Amino acid sequence: MKGILFAILGGACITLQGIANTRISGSIGTWQAATLTQFTGFIVALIILMCVGAGKWREFQQVKPLYLAGGSFAAIIIFSNVTAIQQIGVTLMVSMLLIAQLGMTVIMETNGFFGLKKQKISGAQLIGIGMMISGVFLLKG
């Protein structure tokens, strides 16, 4: 039960983040909002890291540099999120984002990208994506 509540809270925070970034962008600009929120988030995460023990930094050397660079995508992600919310609203943005997120994951699995175990696309995955796309048409109509 607690796990479910945390998952719900996590989802709410993800959507809230997009709305807050959009609100801040309206006042000071989008790149400004992305820079500011990630700077403060970084400082807080760094403080938590110091408290829980920072020794694991060295483990970064064991990870491929490409994988370490994933964080930089957030600049484009936040910019796209905010621009999309301004144009099409939160519900449609989140829906399209989830379709692309799940669809891309399926594509990466099917091709075995980035060391993922290669597996055939399943009927359920196709039906699921199809349902999500129909849902978007209902939303818009």
Partner 1 sequence: MTGILFSLMAGSLVSIQAIFNSKVNERAGTWATTTLVLGLGFLASLTIGFILEGKQLFAWQEMQPWFWFSGLIGVGVVMSLVQAMKRLSPTIAIAIVMTSEVLFALLWDSLGWMGLEQVPFTINKLLGVLVIIGGIFVLKFGGKRERQKVSEAA
Nearest-approach distance from CB 119 to partner 1, in angstroms: 7
**Does position 69 bind partner 1 by CB under 8 A?**
yes
Q: Does 17 bind partner 1 (CB under 8 A)?
A: yes
111 is a contact residue toward partner 1 (CB under 8 A)? no
Number of residues that bind partner 1 (CB under 8 A): 118
Residues 26-45 that bind partner 1 (CB under 8 A): 26-29, 31-45
Binding flags for partner 1, 86-105, as an x/- string (CB under 8 A): xxxxxxxxxxxxxxxxxxxx
- d(C-alpha 102, C-alpha 108), whole Å: 10
Q: How far is the CB of 108 from partner 1 (least distance, A)?
A: 7
CB of 110 to partner 1, least distance (A): 11
* Rounded (10°) angle between helices 123-140 and 90-111: 160
| Alpha carbon distance 81, 68 (integer Å) | 22
Q: How far is the CB of 61 from partner 1 (least distance, A)?
A: 9
Distances (CA, A) of 131 to 15, 55, 126, 127, 135: 21, 45, 9, 6, 6
Q: Is 54 a binder of partner 1 (CB under 8 A)?
A: yes
Among 67, 77, 74, which Cα is nearest to 39's?
74
